[in-house]
Structure 1
Amino acid sequence: MLHAKGSLCTIDVGDRSVTTNEIEDELAEFIGGRGVATRLAHDRIPFDADPYGAENRLYFSTGPLQQSQMSFTGRMNCTALSPLTDGVASANAGGYLSRNFVDTGHSVVELVGESDDLLAVHVTDDDVEFEVVPELEEATVPEVTAAMNERHGLEAENLATIGPAGENGVRFACVMTYDSRAFGRGGLGAVMGAKNVKCVTFQGDSAPDVDVPAEDVQSTVHQEAATSDHIMRRQGTTNSIEFINDNFSFPTRYFSERSFEDIENIGGNAVEEKKYKKASCSVCAFACKLPTKDEETGLETEGPELETVFSFGSNCGVGDLVDVMQSNELCDQYGMDTISCGNVVAAYLASEAEFGNADLVHDLVEKIAFREDEGDLLAEGVARAHEALGVENFSVKGMEFAAHDGRALNGQGLSYAVSNRGADHMYSTTLADEYGGDVDPQGTTGKAELVIENENRNALRDSGVICQFGLGRAVEGDRFEALFDADYDELLAVGARVVELERHFRTQRGYDGEEDRLPYDLPDLASSIEEYYELRGWNDDGTVPTDAVGEYAQAD
């Protein structure tokens, strides 16, 4: 089976020590990316760790396909114990960081400990250097990039950075790269901030030799990406906004309504009108990114993508695209997940009857990043703030909902309920089957098997690492088998082990199936969740038997 190569570099930022170890066995079994990082996190982060504590560990990792020149491979993974969900959570980001990371010769870089001083950590193929940077305290992401460029000649594509939100422990703070690409969900930026690390940089010329097979498949995928006339190349993920709003459900005004009357003003066509150039991720010919500019105000940003249009647009009752662009840009600069941030802002607007007040939205985003005034409460996220706000808790396992409404897409609702990462649409992406008409969106009966297959496949993709956007499912099935030189069922089994390790970690932290719930009712949801447990081979209460993870279980 194809897998990543390279060492594990452990960096203790507290005592500023560096250790390098070979992890060939872990890579061989878990491929790379999310898979190997989850295995390491499960085994090395204490089950009773504080997400903000020195004992938490933050992992950056790549997969074997970052050694290829195939489209849809310009991404990498980040994993830690999440301050938002209180479980092991992974996120991946595009841009150009992954191949600079690979050039260090490492397959995984692990941060542990806590520094007394604010640090920039420079990882190369020769060494790791620690730079004390007190002058960058609460600097924005672009300001950090400018400083690293001036001092070291490093570009945005070399950096993984946090903004003020990460330093201030905002539970949905991001790690940013390329200034506008985010390791978005789960608050991994707050973990990096708790370690007092402002940025980690990667550069070198020592990429391990990984022989990626199936050159014909790589060539075909790349050619398809280059020649496709798919609307995503013009509108990114926003291309489906009007369709979803008109035919399914686009949550509006903090989930109180199911469609938005001003959708044309913030949908895909409106975004395309603001797009002023093409942009992509490393070696990808699909180029679905969205650099946008408003000529009247001079505002430039990248996006907004569909989820940001939902969270800061319809869910906040804001129908002006420029206002949504401004929210997007503020989140990028301060380093925050636009989905969680927009949702918690929408919750506040609901509590104050202020839907549509874009100036207040922008003011709240800044206050959240610096934990000022009401921003201190909102920085905790919906699950921890909803009672004080007097609104319903639209979250699962602490994570705020994505745009794809489980009340309209019941299989997606099931996937939100059982996901180890909470209400994250990318964990299972059952939404694609229901939007596309392959599966009736109504009801949950019989969908547990589909949710499981999607979870396993997506964990495999995140281990590869392959983009889940682009040409939809451009790489799966036979192409997976050819690229990874393994049977598809064997590959899905890798994904299943990743999901099981995530669940086992939650089990050991005292969670069970009581948290597999939704803030709304769906047909036969309880029996479908029971079927999900049974098909997974888990206990009736949604926990993972310790013997199911065997040698990976931590010692008591």
Structure 2
Amino acid sequence: MLYGYMGKMLFVDLTTGAIEERELTKDITDKYIGGYGIGAKVLYEEMPKGADPLGPESILGFITGPANGSKAMFGGRYTLVCKSPVTGGWNDANSGGYFGPELKKAGFDAVFIKGISPTPVYLYVNEGKAELKDASAIWGMDAKETWEALKEATGQPKARVVAIGPSGEKMAYISCPINDGHRAPGRGGGGAVMGSKKLKAIVAYGTKETPVFSPEKVNAINRKVTAALKESPPAQGFGEYGTGVGTGASALNGDSPVKNWGGVGIVDYGEEAAGKVATPTFDKTYKTKKYACANCPMGCGAEYEVNDGRWPLGPTERPEYETLAAFGSTLLNSEMDSIFKCNEICNRYGLDTISAGMTVAWAMECYNEGVLSKEELDGIDLKWGDGAAIVALTQKIADCEGVGAVLANGSAYAAKHFGKGAEYLQTASGIELPMHDPKLAPGFARTYKFDPTPGRHVKGGLGLAQASGVPLGDKYDYRSTGFLDVTLTTGQEINNAAGFCLFLMFSGVQGAEAEYLEAITGNSFKSQDQMSTGLRILDLRHSFNLREGKRLADMTITDRAVGKPPQTAGPLAGVDIDVDRLSANFFAFAGWDPETGIPSKRSYENLGLDFVAKDFY
């Protein structure tokens, strides 16, 4: 019995229409867990080196983890994997909601798709069977309309859908699929890859149960976690007000970027503006219902009803922290109706809110510094903090219309297109930075720059621990960070691959993820198991980039994010991160060559990655 898994994967070739079922073996699950672990194994072995991210050889994967469907608390996240059209390298993004657990209930642990369909299609996975269906009638619909249309078309009102909107259909690089109407594996251009394949959606419905090694132990851990959450102030705050509970404070303490990462919150944004974008300020006015992802006892989401302001939306969703910061402090914007509107545009059209907001921020600074003209922005007077101008440009991006067709591919693409403005990019290897400043949590500088999926704040490492308030000593002492950075990184690799939400940490139950995995799978997950398995997953994702010809020198992060030059005012004044030292320390303990980034042959062999080693030795 393969506990924690359904034991089956789907492989779909959209060019031929062929659908193949393959066994998911215990050897693979033991070594790669799930999520982007299994995703990296499949893409490395089956996707040719140099494949066009938007071409027929490109493979797109939707992979669950053992936590999905196991009834473990916070076990609702699945992972999208692909080659990114933004970076040209490895890409993974994960999402909550209900799609991941539903895919397992439908009978499968993963779906991998290659090829290009001659006409729009959707994949219907229902009770252990899968078929491709015509999507011509829904091509052009937004993500929410698609969900409703496919529930009706399949006759399954409880079906879960992950779908692209019009931006993905037009292969915008910053597009993403949307599940449950507002949850998204947002980063890196997964929506563009889906659109290139003319795959409108995947529909999942099923009633199958995931086999669990010890349901009693899972229930016991659940009771321990839920009891601890009741005593956790962060859990109470996030449960009541969502991820935006501290957005205002973050804009002032240096966590949230301000004015395209070039400003200081207390100077350029101010306390009044910061207070307006904090969820507690407006939550009670608009909240109609609490929202929780699958098996989540905290529930950080909410449904809203917005009937006032310049853009009455009716039913909508509460913006997340990353969205509030990307369309708020980063643009010096505190006009909440405009942020609600931009959030709704992104949810319906299928846009990554981080990249969308940061691309607007790049254009805004270029405009205000005289680099881009009003004419080049299709007549939009893109002044700092102007909510109407922000909405107008975001809509153009979503429609891929006019200048929006350029900006829809992200800020780095736009700077290259216009041949100017590169000095105002805030990116890591070409993808827009997330909304947590490394100058406050310096470990993020290494993660943003050198994680195989650059520019991510939900990867492990010192940065995530520092941002979470874990007491680790002097965070600006870079002398001996390598061992702890690698240890924290590999531990988070396991959690992400297993399908756990990051917010399980708010329970304060030490080792809860490992306890859950032992109870779900029956396997041991002691500290050494986590280190070796996590490093195996990390090295395989990293090796995908190496095989594509990328080396450490090709991975970049923009100067502002790491304090070059240092800010002269505010809480982060004088901070200049030694990224080279942080990174060298990490490479030494990870076993990566400091020049090429290639792991040692011995490391590959010790991790059971001989099939990878042969490509480099």
Q: TM-score, normalised by structure 1?
A: 0.94
C-alpha deviation, 1:437, in angstroms: 5.8
Match of 1:290 in 2: 302
Write the distance in 2 (CA, Å) between the matches of 1:227 and 1:523: 36
Write the distance in 2 (CA, Å) between the matches of 1:81 and 1:376: 21
Tell me, yes or no, if structure 1 residue 219 matches structure 2 residue 223.
yes
Secondary structure of the residue aligned to 2:173 is: coil
C-alpha deviation, 1:211, in angstroms: 2.1
Match of 1:277 in 2: 289
C-alpha deviation, 1:443, in angstroms: 4.8
The aligned amino acid for 1:499 is L
Deviation digits for residues 45-81 of structure 1 (CA, Å, limit 9, x no counterpart) = 1121111011111111111122322221122111111
Whether the aligned pair in 1 keeps the contact of 2:4 and 2:213 (CA below 8 Å) is: no
Call closer, same or farther: CA 1:208–1:408 in 2, change over 3 Å: closer
Tell me, yes or no, if structure 1 residue 265 matches structure 2 residue 266.
no
Call closer, same or farther: CA 1:319–1:482 in 2, change over 3 Å: closer
Call closer, same or farther: CA 1:473–1:169 in 2, change over 3 Å: farther
Tell me, yes or no, if structure 1 residue 45 matches structure 2 residue 47.
yes
Secondary structure of the residue aligned to 1:198 is: strand
The aligned amino acid for 2:480 is G
Call closer, same or farther: CA 1:546–1:15 in 2, change over 3 Å: farther
Write the distance in 2 (CA, Å) between the matches of 1:278 and 1:227: 20
Call closer, same or farther: CA 1:306–1:72 in 2, change over 3 Å: same
How many residue pairs are counted as aligned between the two chains? 556
Write the distance in 2 (CA, Å) between the matches of 1:373 and 1:183: 27
Whether the aligned pair in 2 keeps the contact of 1:2 and 1:483 (CA below 8 Å) is: no
Deviates more, 1:513-522 or 1:300-309: 513-522
Paired residues for 1:130-169 under 5 Å:
130-155=132-157, 158-169=160-171
Whether the aligned pair in 2 keeps the contact of 1:408 and 1:442 (CA below 8 Å) is: no
Match of 1:405 among 437, 461, 468: 437
C-alpha deviation, 1:424, in angstroms: 1.1
Tell me, yes or no, if structure 1 residue 358 matches structure 2 residue 397.
no
Call closer, same or farther: CA 1:471–1:528 in 2, change over 3 Å: closer
Structure 1 residue runs of 5 or longer lacking an equivalent are none
Larger Rg: 2
The aligned amino acid for 1:19 is E
Match of 1:532 among 567, 586, 598: 586
Whether the aligned pair in 1 keeps the contact of 2:228 and 2:507 (CA below 8 Å) is: no
Match of 1:386 among 400, 403, 415: 415
Tell me, yes or no, if structure 1 residue 492 matches structure 2 residue 531.
yes
Tell me, yes or no, if structure 1 residue 376 matches structure 2 residue 405.
yes
C-alpha deviation, 1:432, in angstroms: 4.3
Deviates more, 1:86-95 or 1:475-484: 475-484
Write the distance in 1 (CA, Å) between the matches of 2:290 and 2:158: 18
Match of 2:127 in 1: 125
Write the distance in 2 (CA, Å) between the matches of 1:437 and 1:133: 48
Deviation digits for residues 294-343 of structure 1 (CA, Å, limit 9, x no counterpart) = 34244342221111111111112211122111111110000011001100
Write the distance in 1 (CA, Å) between the matches of 2:598 and 2:464: 28
The aligned amino acid for 2:400 is R
Tell me, yes or no, if structure 1 residue 438 matches structure 2 residue 471.
yes
The aligned amino acid for 1:411 is G
Call closer, same or farther: CA 1:526–1:318 in 2, change over 3 Å: same
Write the distance in 2 (CA, Å) between the matches of 1:493 and 1:449: 13
C-alpha deviation, 1:156, in angstroms: 7.2
Secondary structure of the residue aligned to 2:503 is: coil
Write the distance in 2 (CA, Å) between the matches of 1:165 and 1:443: 44
Secondary structure of the residue aligned to 2:361 is: helix
Deviates more, 1:174-183 or 1:35-44: 35-44
The aligned amino acid for 1:22 is E
Structure 2 residue runs of 5 or longer lacking an equivalent are 369-382, 519-523, 565-575
C-alpha deviation, 1:478, in angstroms: 5.9
The aligned amino acid for 2:222 is Q
Match of 1:246 in 2: 252
Deviation digits for residues 201-251 of structure 1 (CA, Å, limit 9, x no counterpart) = 111233442324633223322444477562001121112223323333421
Match of 1:312 in 2: 327
C-alpha deviation, 1:197, in angstroms: 0.5
Deviation digits for residues 395-442 of structure 1 (CA, Å, limit 9, x no counterpart) = 112221111111332222222122211111112364443241613343
Deviation digits for residues 77-119 of structure 1 (CA, Å, limit 9, x no counterpart) = 1111111222222111111112210122211111111101001
Call closer, same or farther: CA 1:247–1:226 in 2, change over 3 Å: closer
The aligned amino acid for 1:35 is G
C-alpha deviation, 1:137, in angstroms: 2.2
Percent identity of equivalent pairs: 25
Secondary structure of the residue aligned to 1:80 is: strand
Tell me, yes or no, if structure 1 residue 56 matches structure 2 residue 58.
yes
C-alpha deviation, 1:545, in angstroms: 4.0
The aligned amino acid for 1:550 is D
Write the distance in 2 (CA, Å) between the matches of 1:481 and 1:71: 12
Tell me, yes or no, if structure 1 residue 447 matches structure 2 residue 481.
yes
The aligned amino acid for 2:152 is E
Secondary structure of the residue aligned to 2:73 is: coil
Deviation digits for residues 124-152 of structure 1 (CA, Å, limit 9, x no counterpart) = 23432222122322210111112112222
Whether the aligned pair in 2 keeps the contact of 1:51 and 1:191 (CA below 8 Å) is: yes
Write the distance in 1 (CA, Å) between the matches of 2:392 and 2:203: 31
The aligned amino acid for 2:534 is G
Q: TM-score, normalised by structure 2?
A: 0.85
C-alpha deviation, 1:472, in angstroms: 2.8
Paired residues for 1:321-360 under 5 Å:
321-353=336-368, 354-360=383-389
Whether the aligned pair in 2 keeps the contact of 1:172 and 1:379 (CA below 8 Å) is: yes
